[in-house]
Copies of this chain bind each other. A is one copy, B any other.
Amino acid sequence: MAIRYPNGKKYSEKRILKTKKNVNKKDSRYSNRGMSLEEEINESNQYYIAHGLANIHKKPTPIQIVNVHYPSRSAAVITEAYFQKASTTDYNGVYKGKYIDFEAKETKNKTSFPLKNFHDHQINHMIDVIKHGGICFSILRFSATGETFLLKAEYILSWYDQNEDRKSIPKSYIEEHGSLLKQGFLPSIDYLKAVDSMIDCQ
């Protein structure tokens, strides 16, 4: 279930970091459905849960808590904390008995996807998940064209291994080995269809 905040909006770390403004600030993105990739995936996951198709969640943002204040008769208030880098991927859950694990990333680049978007911890996590028989992939969006691909982690790792000096994955490689995801109304991104073909190939 998505975490909802007092203003009824979902929290998006990227949004905070980008706008550098209070998260309570109202915006109109829900009316024009100009959602971020993260919001679209969260909405798709809610749809999958509500329709009994899968149980997949975004993990909470890892926060380093430094100070907590305990006012009398009120809830504890965290008064100093910092965002942390995730050591795993952002999303995981269960679908048809299988362990599902993925990361979602966007780029403004038009012809390639920067590999710096993947931390070493996340690369190691992907390798480990595959080793244990989980289904691991990334959802990659080229925001300039709005195209969204599902790329199996095996292809990301294989590129990573063979091209240590390269800084990005060419879009042509993603088009060749990934699945272009159709965007719709509900769910916004029906990525489970692409996962089905991964399960069939196992």
Interface positions of A (Cβ within 8 A of B) = 1, 3, 5-6, 11, 16-17, 20, 22-24, 49, 52, 54-55, 57, 59-68, 70, 75-84, 87-88, 92-101, 121, 125, 128-129, 131-134
Write out the residue numbers on chain B whose beta carbons fall within 8 Å of the beta carbon of A96: 132-133
11 A-B contacts (beta carbon < 8 Å): A1-B121, A3-B84, A5-B65, A23-B65, A23-B67, A55-B132, A59-B60, A60-B62, A77-B80, A77-B82, A78-B82
| CB contact between A5 and one of B64, B92, B94, B99 (< 8 Å): that residue | B64
Q: Tell me, rounded to whole Å, the shortest Cβ–Cβ distance linking A48 to chain B.
A: 10
Q: A97-B134, A133-B94 are in contact. Are A60 and B63 (CB under 8 A)?
A: yes
| CB contact between A82 and one of B55, B75, B100, B134 (< 8 Å): that residue | B75
Q: A16-B68, A22-B68, A132-B95 are in contact. Are A63 and B81 (CB under 8 A)?
A: yes
Q: A121-B1, A132-B54, A132-B55 are in contact. Are A11 and B64 (CB under 8 A)?
A: yes
- Give the docked Cα–Cα distance between A22 and B166 (Å): 44
Write out the residue numbers on chain B whose beta carbons fall within 8 Å of the beta carbon of A79: 79-80
Write out the residue numbers on chain B whose beta carbons fall within 8 Å of the beta carbon of A99: 93-94, 97-100
- Give the docked Cα–Cα distance between A68 and B65 (Å): 13
Q: Tell me, rounded to whole Å, the shortest Cβ–Cβ distance linking A75 to chain B.
A: 6
| A81 in contact with B82 (CB, 8 Å) | no
| A57 in contact with B88 (CB, 8 Å) | yes
Q: A16-B76, A70-B20 are in contact. Are A132 and B97 (CB under 8 A)?
A: yes
Write out the residue numbers on chain B whose beta carbons fall within 8 Å of the beta carbon of A68: 16, 20, 22-23
For A1, the closest partner residue in chain B by CB is B87
Q: Tell me, rounded to whole Å, the shortest Cβ–Cβ distance linking A173 to chain B.
A: 27
| CB contact between A97 and one of B16, B63, B98 (< 8 Å): that residue | B98
